[in-house]
Amino acid sequence: MIISKIKEFFKSFRNKVIVIAALLVVTASLLASKYFLNESPPGTDSQTTISGNFTDITAENLSNEQLRSILSTGVDSVLGIFGIKNDWISNSVDEKSQKKTVKNESGQTELFTKTVLIPNELSSIEVNAELSSYFKNYGLVTAVNEDIITKDVVISVMYSDTAKSKLPLAKINIVHSEKVHRESAIVCVIINNITEYDPEDVDKLLINKSEFSFVFPRNLDEIDLQNKLLHHKKDVIINLTVGGRDNYETDFTASMDEKAIRERVKSFSVDFPTVTTVILTKKDNDINPAFVNAVANDLSSFKIKVIHDNELAVLYNKAEEESKDKFTILAGNLKSKGNLSKSIVTSIKVNKDEFGIFYDEVLKLKRLGYKFYNFAEFSARKEKFEKAELEKQEKIEKLKEDQQKKLTEKKQLEKKQNEKKKVDKKTDTKKNTDVKKKTDIKKPTEKKNTEPKKKSDVKKK
């Protein structure tokens, strides 16, 4: 009966449409409740979100063991940002009993204590700021005690609700030391394509940056950019070119005599009186070095510093320059060269759309201890920095020699002691052997007279 009524109902096209529409509405409502009314986005845990480079996990939801593992590793990673090596970090944790408290010079903690040696030139305030930001990601707070003389600090890490624990979760002792040194260099980056930037990009990206030099535009059409750079006292450098005899597109050609070179240099100094540094770039390979030196000497006579193009460090090849990771490659190559030369000057092209990526890499290198200066500051600091680095390296080498000497002396002393022990042992063994031999020799015993008496002796009786 009911089935027949249902069949009768669905014979009507209008009724079919109504049922289909009703099903669609229900389906849409279910989907809406799933994707729009859910408190957490699909694929994420409601208690976990990503914030910056760290996972924002509430510390209260973790056990002590989990929190110890996460925070200890995380702290080491943060310290690595500043070029602090793992062997400069000492850890104190109760590994035997895995109990809550750990005793150390600075008191007790729930999880661990770290003592971190940092170079004297690294500010403990900078390290503290980065660590405090890291702990904040986990809902933790920090308290800092600073020694006003040494600038060493002790960072205590606690729950935001201090009633949760009477002891700090962790303590980090930041101690300055002359025994540790970061690998670093001073760097001058000359940005050579500023004319490709729009005026608003120059204002936004470059004007507030004092650690770079810029190739100064010489075209009269760029008068506004020239005035802006000079008004904001940017360090500017002009690129002068040297070519062969028939290359008339260059500033200096090999066909010029001394008088012509002198006149050209004088004209340049009059046209650009505020520019005190130039890059001298060879455009042809068959140029006599003596001619290039003659140009450089004349420029120097007008108190204009000369950077020869072969003095500029090449930090990536053509293929690397076209890579999307070129600035990461540049930073890596810069560190490699910095370990060797300690002072680097380079001229690179940085597109306005890539400037943010480039500057992020610069900030990473700064945290590691690399110093970025415009060419004027670079020139003023170069000699002093290289002298200090040489003295630092000599101290490190002397310390290594002293340690090696002590180690050698210790080994020699141990060797002598071992040899003496062997001799003493042989002597004792020999004495024991001699004593044993003496005790083994039996004294001769008197023989009893057991021979039968003679007959004559018997008769006498």
414 confidence band (pLDDT: 50, 70, 90): confident
Cα–Cα distance measured from residue 61 to residue 136, given in angstroms and rounded to the nearest whole number = 15
pLDDT tens, position by position, 23-36: 766 666 665 554 44
Task: Number of helices (H) and strands (E) in the chain: give both, helices first.
Answer: 13, 17
pLDDT of residue 442: 53
- The confidence score (pLDDT) of residue 193 equals 94
* Tokens coding 400: 């290594």
What is residue 206's DSSP assignment? I
HEC secondary structure over 6-49: HHHHHCCHHHHHHHHHHHHHHHHHHHHHHHCCCCCCCCCCCCEE
Distance CA 382, CA 375 (A): 10
User: What is the secondary structure of 310-336 as a DSSP string?
Assistant: GGS-----HHHHTSTTHHHHHHHHHHH
pLDDT > 70 fraction of the chain, expressed in percent and rounded: 75
Cβ-proximal residues to 122 (8 Å cutoff; 6+ apart), any chain: 82, 176, 182, 369
In the chain, the percentage of residues whose pLDDT exceeds 90 is 50
How would residue 410 be classed by pLDDT, with cut points 50, 70 and 90?
confident
Which residues are within 8 A (CB) of 365 and not within 5 positions of it... i.e. 6 or more apart?
A: 187, 331, 334, 335, 372
More confident call, 186 vs 46: 186
Q: Which residue from 361, 299, 304 is spatially nearest to 327, judged by alpha carbons?
A: 361
Give me 204's structure tokens.
Answer: 């936004």
Q: Which domains does the chain have, with CATH numbers?
A: 64-94+106-176 (3.30.460), 186-384 (3.20.20.370)
How far, in Å, CA of 69 to CA of 73, rounded? Answer: 6
pLDDT score of 220 more than 70: yes
Q: Count CB-CB contacts under 10 A for residue 111.
A: 23
Question: Once rounded to an integer, what is the mean pLDDT over residues 350-354?
Answer: 93
Q: What is the Cα–Cα distance from 240 to 265, expressed in whole angstroms? A: 10
Average pLDDT over residues 269-293: 93
| Angle between the N-to-C axes of helices 2-10 and 13-35, in degrees from 0 to 180, rounded to the nearest 10 | 90
Q: Is the pLDDT of residue 125 over 50?
A: yes
Q: Which amino acid is at 23?
A: L
DSSP string, 44-108: S-TTEEEETTEEEE-GGGS-HHHHHHHHHHHHHHHHHTTT--GGGEEEE--TTT--S-EEETTEE
pLDDT of residue 126 exceeding 90, the answer is yes
58 pLDDT higher than 70: no
Reported in sequence order, the residue ranges of 223-348 that DSSP labels E, i.e. its strands, are 235-243, 252-253, 277-282, 305-308, 343-348
- pLDDT tens for residues 96-106? 334 433 344 44
Mean pLDDT of 141-149: 92
* pTM flag (> 0.85): no
Tell me the two tokens of residue 269: 């100094």
Phi, psi of 62 (to 5 degrees): -110, 150
What per-residue confidence (pLDDT) applies to 130?
Answer: 95
Please state the rounded mean pLDDT for residues 119-126: 92
Q: Whole-number mean pLDDT of the chain?
A: 81
Average pLDDT value for residue range 350-355: 94
Query: Can you state the angle between helices 258-271 and 289-301, rounded to 10 degrees?
Result: 40
